[in-house]
Amino acid sequence: MKFLRGIGWGLGAILLALAVVVNGMVPGHGTYVLVVGAFGLALVLAGLLLNRDRVTAALQGKKARAAGASAGYALTVLAVIVLVNFLAARHHKRFDLTENKAFSLSEQTIKILESLPREVTVTAFYREAEPTRQKLEDLLAEYRYHSPKLTVRYIDPDTHPGDAKRYSIAEYGTIVVESGKNESRTNTPDEESLTNALIKVTKDRERIVYFTTGHGERDLSVSERNGLSLLKGELEKQHYTVKPLVLSQGMPQDATVVVIAGPQKSFLEAEIRMIQEYLQKGGH
């Protein structure tokens, strides 16, 4: 009782301020913020109730100095809360204070989100009690924070079977990413899968890297020293499509880059002409 009467309401006001700060600056802790804020409010109300004699004295002009000091302290804390709210609204910034940066996106994903050329809709078909749903909600909240062009919807296939049938959903946890007539689906709720889906539905032209074959070039499927599987993997992480190229079948029109990787045999004259024509047309 002495604790609540003495500093309970001041501590409660501080907890309220802390809840406001955390809610505005650290994502993914909605439940904890609500608990801290509710506890802080309870302390403030309990302090006011136990100090009702001081409040009455202040209103009646008795013990004005002590009551005024307590009231001034409370008003100061409340002013800080108002100031924090004002600054958060004017200079909105989020910080990830988790040890492993669980709520941070990569610079590449942020760049993609900030430069989205058009509206994108993400529809997640998750049940309400799905174990991984909260993690997905936290991740997509970060995505939405970085792009106003992103719309996120959550649909429970059990309660909305019509929507599930319209999208031909065959399993729980399916995420559908749409932009215009383009669509991409994934069942992996992580940053890499979602960002890849965003790129697929918003890019108007697929970026394809072709590697010539048939002349003893380094193999895309080999991971040893002379292989190119690691390079292939890195290119795919950068959202390029990697394909082998057989020049005898002609030069593809959709090539972004053509790579000749360490050939051991000479090219045929017809193949050389194809490559020269490709370069003359601005190819790489």
Q: pTM of the predicted model, to two decimals?
A: 0.48
Residue pLDDT tens, the chain, 284 long: 555 555 655 666 676 666 666 665 554 455 666 776 676 677 667 766 766 666 566 556 545 555 555 555 555 555 555 445 544 444 445 545 455 555 579 999 999 999 999 999 999 999 998 889 999 999 999 999 999 999 999 999 999 999 999 999 999 999 999 998 888 999 999 999 999 999 888 887 778 899 999 999 999 888 887 788 889 888 887 768 899 999 989 999 888 899 999 899 999 999 999 999 989 888 76
Listed in sequence order, the DSSP H helices in the chain are 2-3, 9-25, 30-50, 52-60, 64-90, 107-114, 133-146, 161-166, 191-202, 229-237, 269-280
Spell out the long-range contacts of 217-222 with Cβ–Cβ below 8 A and sequence spacing 24 or more. Answer: 217/260, 217/261, 217/262, 217/263, 217/264, 218/261, 218/262, 220/244
Pairing relationship of beta strands 241-245 and 208-212 according to DSSP bridges: parallel
* Count of CA atoms in the C-beta half-sphere (13 A) of 22: 18
The structure tokens listed for 66 are: 């002590």
230: Cβ contacts below 8 Å, ≥ 6 apart? 223
- Answer whether 9's CB lies under 8 Å from 44's CB: yes
What pLDDT shows up at residue 92? Answer: 47
State residue 214 phi and psi, 5-degree precision.
100, 0
Q: What SS3 class is residue 142?
A: helix
Identity of residue 119: E
* Count of CA atoms in the C-beta half-sphere (13 A) of 109: 19
CB atoms within 10 A of CB 239: 16
- Closest residue by Cα to residue 36 from 14, 56, 4: 14
The structure tokens listed for 76 are: 């100061």
State residue 259 phi and psi, 5-degree precision.
-110, 130
The single-letter DSSP state of residue 78 is: H
